[in-house]
Amino acid sequence: MAKIEPITGKYIWVPFDGEEYRIFFEEAGEGIPMVCLHTAGTDSREWRHQLCDPAINKNFRVIAIDIPRHGKSIPPYDYYKEKEEYKLTAKFYSGIVMAFCKELGLEKPVIMGSSMGGNICLHLAENYSNQVGSLIAIEACEYSPGWHIDYLRHSHIHGGETAATSVFGLMAPQSPDKYRWETWWYYAQGGPGIFKGDLYFYSKDHDFRGKTEKLSGDVPIYYMTGVYDFACTPEMTEDTATKTKNSECIIMEEIGHFPMSENPELFNSYLYPVLDKIMANR
């Protein structure tokens, strides 16, 4: 019998800020909508294990998107006319995510993101707390400087291999090699300058210092960080969580910066109790 996964891929046109974006997403399951946001420079494939987990998708409609310029989501048609290099901003990122949710008709979805997808959860809590149900901020903190580096887009080196290798050490040594190298492969396939442009948001535009304490607490935030992450250390996450009303902080052993793809079985074991709490409070 053929081994066919339950994932379905679709495209949706999302109007936002005077443009229409053709966005690709994968989904599986039924129930509470949960939108999954990938890390910098890669795409929705990072979430394939959560999409295929029956313990998750029996209660959640798991939706993993490629934000514009990533994976199968094309850039704007006139991107080749842009005079400045691509730089992701919090305003665009949070806006396009919520525009996607609106266009798909999602009612108070759970937003789960990792790395830059985790950091954007703080901005969603600040500006869209009445439109989301819960936030799962993985490998997230209020400020993560030092990663917007010029050599990540340079004509003398292979951008994909450089991006992939630059993050390889962020994964835990206990994570299975097959998954670590799969994550490397995703990074090696990013578009020109996309990883660097995403890191503009991650390390420069995202500076939430002085604002974390002011979040209303209307939407619960679950912080989850791996002990082997040195881009967003457990201490950085714990410091952010202590300032966040209505939040919980989970530190994950034997996991690095890419929990959902580098060690999915272990990560899912940490995720299940969070999802149980979300269902209980829905």
Local confidence pLDDT in tens for the 282 residues of the chain: 899 999 999 999 999 999 999 999 999 999 999 999 999 999 999 999 999 999 999 999 999 999 999 999 999 999 999 989 999 999 999 999 999 999 999 999 999 999 999 999 999 999 999 999 999 999 999 999 866 767 666 667 777 778 777 788 899 999 999 999 999 999 999 888 999 999 999 999 999 999 999 999 999 999 999 999 999 999 999 999 999 999 999 999 999 999 999 999 999 999 999 999 999 998
Distance (Å, rounded) from C-alpha 17 to C-alpha 231? 32
pLDDT attached to residue 151: 63
pLDDT attached to residue 152: 67
The residue among 226, 121, 222 whose CA lies nearest residue 170 is: 226
pLDDT attached to residue 162: 80
The Cβ of residue 84 has, within 10 Å, a number of other Cβ atoms equal to 5
The residue among 79, 58, 59 whose CA lies nearest residue 70 is: 79
State the DSSP code for 161: H
The residue among 124, 102, 99 whose CA lies nearest residue 111 is: 124
Structure tokens at 276: 């149980």
Structure tokens at 253: 């052993």
Distance (Å, rounded) from C-alpha 157 to C-alpha 193? 12
Measured CA to CA in angstroms, residue 5 lies from 48, 171, 257 at distances of 10, 26, 26
Q: First and final CA of the chain: distance in angstroms?
A: 38
The residue among 75, 100, 86 whose CA lies nearest residue 25 is: 100
Q: Using an 8 Å Cβ cutoff, are 115 and 144 in contact?
A: no
The residue among 126, 77, 70 whose CA lies nearest residue 100 is: 70
Structure tokens at 6: 């339950």
Q: Which amino acid is at 273?
A: P
All domains of the chain, ordered by start, with CATH?
8-280 (3.40.50.1820)
